[in-house]
Structures are given as structure tokens and as C-alpha cells.
């Protein structure tokens, strides 16, 4: 079976883990956490980063920073992972679900404007598949209505919009280093702080609501509980693995892009015959090849293709069940507008295997199997 995903080791992961164990500190904010943070701070400069145990944790810090209360609303796409909403529901806020763009499946900025009310306390955009949202419009909306903008960039490490790294547009941004992402640490995440008014408090929230970090820097003489918070730090073994990946990130992204481009070239003839639709890449963005997906005509066709590929030894998978249609989404959120594009994506989108050590021969085999399927129907 060709799996949908396979974790990739770039070279130094096990050596760094061994060194972390030798250094004798396995809890958070040790040698490798500091090195990984410095790497990310340099990469995203002048923004500041805080490593977390997950992107979910980074989103939860963001929700705490916004000081949300029951009745407050946050606008986000329905076609996203549950953490995008759950982090804010935990603070009592109401997620307002809007539709996605039919081309890139990122949030529909026109629907965002329509959803803004006096209760709106944040806009959360999701860079789906590492493809950029319309950040020009979203930044302008954020400024026009004085509403904080958060980028859920879980899938977007290394992608850009108009030459600028994704994650650097919003007041806050979150990244994932889960094993299904481009740069991995098993579990792991990062909060990126662009609006510096949030940084000191974010550091406190991340450290269980204490001033531990400033205490160890010698900036205060007492280490005590001063705010809300929780345990969001990654352990040193996770950070050691992550550092090796970050150091090899250019190589990893290039390997993925080569595979992505091969998929696109080999499947283009099926798009020209109107059998499938391929991702559209705007000239304003560069993407990180996080995901290669195709759009089938309908749900029945997509399910048949999944089964056909499985019978050929290929694991291809669909993606999100829309949050607005889920039991918790119906309980905690509300819908703004019609979500037709979201429903189509949920029914028709199919993700193909993509990981750095997928071979070109395997890509050819997968594309040939897809062509065979459409020849038979």
C-alpha cells in the first residue's frame, strides 16, 4: 500500500534527540527549544515566536489573548479542522461559519464582510493546503473594523503571498508541526506574534499563567502565578526533532514541490477532458506543496475513486466534514450565508499521497491508476 502520508527524517533528528537526552533536560524551554525558537524568530523576523505542544495549543493561547467572553463572535471558514473553532468555543465565543472560495478553498473574503457585526471580536483565516487567502482584503477588513486578524497557518509553513511569508500578516498566527505537515516533530506547533502588544502576555499564558520565563531571564525576582494560562510547552525531544527538520526545510519543501509539479503535469490531461479539476495557483502566491488534491464531479464518483485506488494499493483520502454540519458546530456556532462551496469541497475533494520520499515511480503509478479509473467510467 502506498500510504497517504509517511513521516520523513531529514538526517539529524535521532542525533539531536540523543544529544537532548545527554544534556539532561527533557522538559520544555531547554537547549533545543531555544535553538528552534531562534531559528523561527530569524525566519519570521521581526515577528516573535513561541513554541507550543501543538497548533491547537497555539490557537488556545490566541483565544486567551483576545479575552473573549460569552456572546463574542469569531468569523472563520466552516471547511477547516475542529481546532480552528474549538479553541474559541472553549472561551465561550460563538464561531460564525462562512463559505470558502471555490477556487482555493480558503475563506471567502466577501462573506467575511457580510458576517461582521458589533459582536465580532476576531477574524480567523485558514490557508488551506498551504495556499494563501486574499490577505490584502483581510488585512484591510481588520483595519477598517479594528478587528484582530488571526492566521491559521497550520498547513502553510514556507508559503508566501505577494512575496511575504504567510503568518506575518495577522496580529497572531499559528503553525503545526504535526507528522502530517511539511515540517514535523510528531506533535508540535508554534504561535507567531506580529502585534507585539500580545507577546509578553502570550509568554505568560504559555507558562501556565506564570512569569517563569522572565524570572529565568533575571527580569523579576519572584516566580509566581499572575494570569490565566496552561501547559503549552513542547518537550525537549520534540524540539530536538523539530530543529533538524527546520534546518532541512528548504530541501524538504523542494522535494515536495517536485512531486506536486509531477502530479499536476501528469493529471493535466484529465482536467483538459473535464474529468477532474486540479488546484489553481494564483500568480500572487508561492505555495509549499503541502497537499495535492483533485476535485471529482460528485460524492459518488469520489467515493468510487477512493475504493478503486485502494484496490490498487493506494491510500487516497477525503478531508473535512464541514464544521457547520457537525453536532458541535450546530450546538456552538451559527452560519452566515450559504455554504455551497464548503459542501462541494467536502463531497468532491480527494487528497493524494504526498511526502518527501514518495518516489517518482509511485507518482506515475498513482496517476496511471486515476487515468484508468476515468477510462472505465
- What confidence tens digit (pLDDT) does each residue in 251-288 have? 999 999 999 999 999 999 999 999 999 999 989 999 99
56 with 183, same domain: the answer is yes
In the chain, the number of structural domains is 2
Cα separation values, 5 from 134, 184, 201, 222, 265, Å = 28, 12, 36, 46, 21
225 with 355, same domain: the answer is no
> Which of 247, 278, 295 is a domain's end point?
247
Q: Are 189 and 177 a contacting pair, CB within 8 Å?
A: yes
- Summarised one tens digit per residue, pLDDT across range 10-23 is 999 999 999 999 99
Say yes or no to pLDDT of 301 above 80. yes
- C-alpha radius of gyration, the chain, whole number: 21
Q: Name the residue range of residue 48's domain.
A: 13-247
The domain that contains 63 carries what CATH number? 3.40.640.10
The domain that contains 265 carries what CATH number? 3.90.1150.10
18 with 85, same domain: the answer is yes
Nearest partner of 145 among 108, 125, 103, 115, judged by Cα: 115
Q: Is there a domain that residue 308 lies in?
A: yes
Q: 191 pairs with which residues across the strands?
A: 50, 174
Share of the chain above pLDDT 70, in %: 100
110 with 237, same domain: the answer is yes
> Which of 247, 265, 296 is a domain's end point?
247
Alpha-carbon span 28 to 261, nearest angstrom: 38
Q: Is there a domain that residue 34 lies in?
A: yes
225 with 312, same domain: the answer is no
331 with 296, same domain: the answer is yes
Nearest partner of 297 among 279, 319, 275, judged by Cα: 275
- Tell me, letter by letter, the H, E, C secondary structure of 192-219: EECCHHHHHHHHHHHECCECHHHHHCCC
> Which of 247, 277, 294 is a domain's end point?
247
174 with 106, same domain: the answer is yes
Q: Is there a domain that residue 49 lies in?
A: yes
38 with 154, same domain: the answer is yes
Average pLDDT, whole number, for the chain? 96
- Summarised one tens digit per residue, pLDDT across range 104-153 is 999 999 999 999 999 999 999 999 999 999 999 999 999 999 999 999 99
Question: What is the pLDDT confidence band of residue 180, given thresholds at 50, 70 and 90?
Answer: very high
Question: What is the pLDDT confidence band of residue 219, given thresholds at 50, 70 and 90?
Answer: confident
Amino acid at each position: 500500500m502506498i500510504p497517504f502520508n509517511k513521516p520523513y527524517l531529514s538526517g539529524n533528528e535521532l542525533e539531536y534527540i540523543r544529544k537532548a537526552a545527554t544534556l539532561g533536560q527533557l522538559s520544555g524551554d531547554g537547549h533545543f527549544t531555544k535553538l528552534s525558537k531562534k531559528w523561527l524568530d530569524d525566519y519570521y523576523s521581526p515577528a516573535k515566536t513561541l513554541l507550543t505542544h501543538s497548533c491547537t495549543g497555539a490557537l488556545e493561547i490566541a483565544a486567551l489573548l483576545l479575552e473573549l467572553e460569552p456572546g463574542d463572535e469569531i468569523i472563520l471558514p466552516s471547511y477547516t479542522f475542529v481546532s480552528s473553532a474549538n479553541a474559541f468555543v472553549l472561551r465561550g465565543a460563538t464561531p460564525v461559519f462562512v463559505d470558502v472560495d471555490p477556487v482555493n478553498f480558503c475563506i471567502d473574503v466577501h462573506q467575511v464582510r457580510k458576517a461582521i457585526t458589533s459582536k465580532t471580536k476576531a477574524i480567523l483565516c485558514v490557508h488551506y493546503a498551504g495556499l494563501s487567502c486574499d490577505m490584502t482584503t483581510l488585512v484591510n477588513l481588520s483595519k477598517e473594523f479594528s478587528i484582530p486578524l488571526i492566521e491559521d497557518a497550520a498547513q502553510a509553513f514556507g508559503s508566501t503571498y505577494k512575496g511575504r511569508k504567510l503568518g506575518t500578516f495577522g496580529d497572531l498566527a499559528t503553525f503545526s508541526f504535526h507528522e502530517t505537515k511539511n515540517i514535523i516533530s510528531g506533535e508540535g506547533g508554534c504561535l507567531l506574534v506580529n502585534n507585539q502588544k500580545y507577546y509578553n502576555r502570550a509568554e505568560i499564558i504559555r507558562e501556565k499563567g506564570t512569569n517563569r520565563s522572565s524570572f529565568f531571564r533575571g527580569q523579576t525576582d519572584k516566580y509566581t502565578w499572575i494570569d490565566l494560562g496552561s501547559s503549552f510547552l513542547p518537550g525537549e525531544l520534540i524540539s530536538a526533532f523539530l530543529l533538524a527538520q527546520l534546518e532541512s526545510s528548504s530541501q524538504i519543501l523542494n522535494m515536495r514541490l517536485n512531486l506536486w509539479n509531477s502530479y499536476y503535469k501528469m493529471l493535466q490531461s484529465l482536467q483538459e477532458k473535464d474529468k477532474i479539476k486540479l488546484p489553481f495557483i494564483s500568480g500572487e502566491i508561492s505555495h509549499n506543496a503541502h497537499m495535492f488534491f483533485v476535485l471529482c464531479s460528485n460524492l459518488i464518483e469520489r467515493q468510487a475513486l477512493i475504493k478503486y485506488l485502494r484496490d490498487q494499493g493506494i491510500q487516497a483520502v477525503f478531508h473535512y466534514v464541514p464544521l457547520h454540519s457537525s453536532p458541535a458546530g450546530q450546538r456552538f456556532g451559527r452560519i452566515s450565508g450559504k455554504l455551497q462551496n464548503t459542501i462541494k469541497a467536502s463531497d468532491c475533494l480527494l487528497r493524494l499521497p504526498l511526502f518527501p520520499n514518495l518516489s517518482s515511480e509511485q507518482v506515475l503509478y498513482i496517476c496511471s491508476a486515476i487515468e484508468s479509473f476515468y477510462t472505465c467510467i
